[in-house]
Structure 1
């Protein structure tokens, strides 16, 4: 999963609209509507928060296990480690049931975003087990962000987007507005309001813009 640090230009808008639509269609075809509705509630902030006084490795494993449970991955065991790396995180996809996830060393001091990085990588495991994917790497990464978000863990990825003068960061492949758009699609189906969960002001603003786009799309007349 890529990560953009301060000085990098963050893309905005909705450049992946077609990929988002294709990803949602593929998800519903693979799981069925009933299968998608097995994820009625998003993962709560309390399950994925890592306190400053909590042991880093034990806390990271706890958060990983919470996300494994949320994504309904029976018997999956996550082994999480930290190391210097270019990307934010990576996962080794094997036959399982044990999977190795590596997180960028910078998360040692940015604990609040560990859940976001893990959510994306654990969704890779889910898609691997489902046999759900697209031919290209970029399309698969968009699929992963969309599925993470639509199944209730991707609000973490949007909340990891921040620009506050101290640090500037964005995780994932979708733009901030696209994360908001997919969240709005989920909210429409499950009656959720993710607004209270955001700790980042710019993430909340992106959610509002994404929700507005989803509302505009829903209100548009059908094509002739």
Structure 2
């Protein structure tokens, strides 16, 4: 007599069912996404997720100004932004002396000029379409948050919130994978992290070892993607394979935790009565929002995106 075989869970039994982020980070992510639902409705989270494919950038894409403008226009359409009201500035800082700016260079910015939103994009690595899309998504989320006066720069976590909104609007695969980038160097491979893709100081670091900067870590992005999938009713999201190994492991851990801890489509953290929650996240170097982006450098032999090798679990 054959035994009935149960369908295995969408995550490995070896993956922990504990929340992949600390209590404060969890509360901030969940409360912020709940606020997005109230501000923007559920539609952005329920439509098809945006993946690296030719409907955003054409075959033979090389990063010409016309191609970049076409990408911006398509993304504006997906994010509910009137492209005619947006000014796009392209700049090239390839020749900048990195050491003069402490090993970083700006790759994007946002401001308002004569009542019109302006986003600036560094074209140095514009031929890398997924990377460019991550930068554009962040800047367009500034338009939706700051430009539409939903928040102000006085909110200390506004950059973190902007990163998180890219997930809610379906661009999380690009933002999450851009948080940690590898580039070939004469000494092997180096990591070029983007992290928070910050308003005036979106940074790309070039080091022969491992380095990380920004406000949202792989662990936080992974849990944010889990919350995004949970809102969509996806316990085994088909798009998970598009994520890099590290955040993909945190996504699966987050889904395992949510399945154990909350009803479908709801979050474990108690509602904040409609008020956006600002959580002060403290590290050994002090508040994450002080002094710009936090950069950590590690030896190149360290495997930063292997499961279990993410940033220290916050307390």
Q: TM-score, normalised by structure 2?
A: 0.56
Deviation at 1:138, TM superposition (A): 4.3
Looking at structure 1, the residues matched to 140 and 48 of structure 2 have their Cα atoms a distance apart, in angstroms, of 18
Deviation at 1:158, TM superposition (A): 1.1
Deviation at 1:195, TM superposition (A): 2.1
Give the alignment of 1:56-67 within 5 angstroms.
56-67=64-75
Q: Aligned pairs, how many?
A: 203
Deviation at 1:93, TM superposition (A): 3.2
Looking at structure 1, the residues matched to 48 and 163 of structure 2 have their Cα atoms a distance apart, in angstroms, of 17
Counterpart contact for 1:178–1:210, Cα < 8 Å: no
Q: Does 1:211 find its partner at 2:211?
A: no
Partner of 1:37: 43
Q: Does 1:170 find its partner at 2:181?
A: no
Q: Does 1:87 find its partner at 2:87?
A: no
Q: Select between 164-173 and 147-156 the one with higher mean Cα deviation.
A: 164-173
Partner of 2:28: 19
| Structure 2 unaligned blocks of 5 or more | 1-19, 97-104, 197-214, 263-267, 270-315
Counterpart contact for 1:142–1:174, Cα < 8 Å: yes
1:186 to 209, 222, 228: 228
Assess, with a 3 A threshold, how the Cα gap between structure 1 residues 150 and 69 changes in structure 2: closer, same or farther. Answer: same
- SS class of match (1:73): coil
Assess, with a 3 A threshold, how the Cα gap between structure 1 residues 48 and 82 changes in structure 2: closer, same or farther. Answer: farther
Partner of 1:10: none
- SS class of match (1:91): strand
Assess, with a 3 A threshold, how the Cα gap between structure 1 residues 133 and 50 changes in structure 2: closer, same or farther. Answer: farther
- SS class of match (2:192): strand
Counterpart contact for 2:63–2:126, Cα < 8 Å: no
Assess, with a 3 A threshold, how the Cα gap between structure 1 residues 51 and 112 changes in structure 2: closer, same or farther. Answer: farther
Once superposed, what is the RMSD of the aligned Cα atoms?
Answer: 2.9
Greater Cα radius of gyration, structure 1 or 2: 2
| Structure 1 unaligned blocks of 5 or more | 1-12
Looking at structure 2, the residues matched to 49 and 142 of structure 1 have their Cα atoms a distance apart, in angstroms, of 27
Deviation at 1:30, TM superposition (A): 1.8
Counterpart contact for 1:93–1:125, Cα < 8 Å: no
For residues 173-214 of structure 1, give each alpha carbon's deviation from its aligned partner in whole angstroms, at most 9, with x where no partner exists: 31112112111211122234322434xxxx233122133124
Looking at structure 2, the residues matched to 213 and 55 of structure 1 have their Cα atoms a distance apart, in angstroms, of 35
Q: Does 1:116 find its partner at 2:106?
A: no
Higher helix share: 1
Counterpart contact for 2:56–2:74, Cα < 8 Å: yes
Looking at structure 2, the residues matched to 53 and 153 of structure 1 have their Cα atoms a distance apart, in angstroms, of 19
Assess, with a 3 A threshold, how the Cα gap between structure 1 residues 76 and 145 changes in structure 2: closer, same or farther. Answer: same
Deviation at 1:26, TM superposition (A): 2.1
Q: TM-score, normalised by structure 1?
A: 0.75
Counterpart contact for 2:125–2:132, Cα < 8 Å: yes
Deviation at 1:64, TM superposition (A): 1.0
Counterpart contact for 1:81–1:103, Cα < 8 Å: yes
Counterpart contact for 2:88–2:121, Cα < 8 Å: no
